[in-house]
């Protein structure tokens, strides 16, 4: 069986690896970028420091099958991500928790808030701020408003270019106050970063001789949709295999129904002549400055180096005509989801076409969710071939 996979990101690499287990399968993996790995791509910069090109990636999952899968291709450092936020002149744990309360508020007030949270919700619980806002208790209601304003509201405006109510209420409903002193950003059972980087991990995934890789290639130059019979031609020849598509779905149909909106990021890297710049790998700036966060990569990768590289992230709207930025975050609004469903209906008319991944599904996936989804799709493809 022949397969063409559009996109050599995590979805494409996992599906390619799975399909290549059958020696009779031949897979062509193509990508417009000049590297594999999609947004998980990492590399050593000119100073020899390993950096993540598209922002920090921390692997975490509660799924043992997914954890066992990635460990087939690399060893992992055990790493627990801790994020601090610059709030009212202090660096405090994010998500907001009991340590944050103690750091920001006067001792008596912090003790009162802590006591009320523990009495109402118990220890080690995550309470959405909407739940706090519904309470008759004035202190809990005030805490909800404080976290919304200081941690969420301005960060959302910077990240999404819209107010929280314009993005949609679902995001706000999930903002937690963590009634705990556990300041890990994730609480999943399996967490870490690959010892030799994500790019090397994915190179191991696609090392099969059954997989051919074509980089720096726009899929439009080799694939063509035929509207009349809903088939796909490869190099203007009949192609009877499957096309696994992981790119933006509106681009496949030449944006004829409209553009699917995404947010993108501008990454500004700086190497500093110092061993350490900040106390943790990621510091968020919800209210101050134009950037949303600063990442210091050595705190993620455990690399020893006399210098350190940091990266500031500036959020911006994505425009497919701008080849300097990438579509990173689907914008969760009802109108956008309806437009995506219209494109998906068009895609389903092409029996050769299989959609996979964050862009093709217009849905935010973590790395673990991306792998879980890709393994499911690969299993379905193998069972139907």
pLDDT confidence of residue 173: 53
- Percent of the chain at pLDDT > 90 equals 90
Would the pLDDT of 384 be above 90? no
151: pLDDT confidence band, cut at 50, 70 and 90? very high
CB contact set of 199 (below 8 Å; sequence gap of 6+): 35, 36, 37, 40, 41, 42, 43
Q: CA-CA distance, 240 to 237, in Å (whole number)?
A: 10
Q: How confident is the model at residue 169 (pLDDT cuts 50, 70, 90)?
A: low
| Closest by Cα among 24, 38, 36, 11 to 241 | 24
User: What is the mean predicted confidence (pLDDT) over 323-342?
Assistant: 94
For residue 168, the model assigns a pLDDT of 59
The CA–CA distances, whole Å, from 233 to 16, 18, 62, 219, 353 equal: 20, 24, 41, 11, 12
Predicted confidence (pLDDT) per residue in 51-88, tens digit:
999 999 999 999 999 999 999 999 999 999 999 999 99
Residue 284 pLDDT: 97
User: β-strand 26-30 against 2-6: which pairing, if any?
Assistant: parallel
Q: Round the average pLDDT of the chain to a whole number and report it.
A: 95
pLDDT of residue 218: 96
Check residue 288 and give its pLDDT. 86
What token pair was written down for 149? 């304003």
* pLDDT band, residue 305 (cuts 50/70/90): very high
Q: What is residue 174's predicted lDDT score, i.e. its pLDDT?
A: 62
How many of the other CB atoms lie within 10 Å of CB of 293? 24
Among residues 22, 7, 5, which one has the least CA distance to residue 382?
22
pLDDT bin (cut points 50, 70, 90) of residue 112 is very high
Element housing 175 (H / E):
none
Q: Is the pLDDT of residue 163 over 90?
A: no
Q: Which superfamily does 2-36+206-259+326-384 belong to?
A: NAD(P)-binding Rossmann-like Domain (3.40.50.720)
Q: Are 7 and 246 in contact (CB under 8 A)?
A: yes
Average the pLDDT over 243-263 and give the result: 97
Return the pLDDT at 164: 77
What residue segments make up the domains of the chain, in order of their start?
2-36+206-259+326-384, 83-179
| Tens-place pLDDT, residues 175-222 | 889 999 999 999 999 999 999 999 999 999 999 999 999 999 999 999
Position 165 scores a pLDDT of 74
Residue 137, classed as helix, strand or coil, is coil
* Residue pair 313/267 in contact by the 8 Å Cβ criterion: yes
The yes-or-no verdict on residue 380 having pLDDT over 90 is yes
Token digits of residue 272: 């500093």
Q: Is the pLDDT of residue 166 over 90?
A: no
Asked whether residue 170 carries a pLDDT value surpassing 60, the answer given is no
Confidence check: pLDDT of 277 > 70: yes
Assess whether pLDDT exceeds 60 at residue 172: no
Question: What mean pLDDT is predicted for residues 89-97?
Answer: 96
User: What is the distance between the alpha carbons of residues 267 and 218, in angstroms, rounded to a whole number?
Assistant: 23
Cis peptide before 95 (omega within 30 of 0): yes
pLDDT at 191: 97
Q: Which pLDDT score, from 0 to 100, does residue 186 have?
A: 94
Q: What is the mean pLDDT of residues 282-306?
A: 96
Mean of pLDDT values over 151-172: 78
């Amino acid at each position: 069986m022949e397969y063409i996979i559009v996109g050599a990101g995590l979805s494409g690499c996992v599906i390619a690896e799975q399909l290549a287990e059958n020696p009779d399968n031949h897979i062509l993996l193509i990508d417009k970028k000049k590297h594999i790995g999609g947004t998980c791509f990492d590399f050593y910069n000119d100073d020899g420091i390993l950096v993540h090109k598209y922002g920090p990636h921390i692997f975490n999952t509660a799924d043992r099958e997914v954890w066992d899968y990635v460990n087939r291709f690399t060893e992992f450092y055990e790493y627990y991500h801790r994020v601090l936020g610059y709030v009212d002149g202090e660096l405090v744990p994010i998500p907001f928790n009991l340590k944050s309360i103690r750091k920001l508020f006067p001792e008596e007030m912090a003790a009162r808030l802590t006591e009320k949270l523990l009495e109402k919700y118990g220890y080690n619980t995550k309470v959405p701020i909407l739940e706090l806002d519904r309470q008759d208790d004035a202190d809990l209601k005030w805490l909800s408003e404080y976290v919304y304003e200081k941690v969420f509201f301005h960060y959302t405006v910077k990240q999404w270019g819209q107010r929280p109510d314009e993005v949609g209420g679902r995001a706000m409903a999930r903002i937690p106050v963590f009634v705990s002193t556990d300041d890990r950003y994730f609480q999943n059972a399996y967490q870490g970063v690959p010892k030799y980087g994500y790019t090397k991990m994915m190179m191991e995934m696609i090392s099969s001789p059954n997989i051919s890789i074509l980089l720096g290639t726009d899929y439009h130059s080799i694939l063509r949709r035929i509207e009349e019979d809903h088939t796909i031609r490869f190099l203007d020849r009949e192609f009877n295999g499957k096309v696994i598509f992981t790119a933006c779905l509106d681009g496949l149909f030449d944006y004829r129904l409209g553009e699917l909106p995404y947010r993108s990021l501008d990454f500004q890297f700086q190497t500093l002549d110092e061993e350490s710049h900040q106390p943790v790998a990621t510091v968020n700036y919800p209210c101050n400055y134009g950037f949303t966060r600063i990442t210091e990569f050595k705190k993620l990768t455990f690399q020893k180096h006399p210098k350190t590289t940091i990266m500031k992230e500036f959020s911006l709207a994505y425009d497919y005509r701008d080849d300097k930025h990438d579509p990173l975050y689907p914008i969760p609004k009802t109108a956008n989801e309806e437009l995506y469903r219209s494109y998906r209906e068009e895609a389903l008319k092409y029996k050769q076409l299989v959609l996979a991944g964050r862009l093709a599904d217009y849905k935010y996936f973590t790395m673990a969710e991306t792998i879980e989804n890709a393994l499911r799709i690969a299993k379905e493809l193998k069972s139907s071939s």
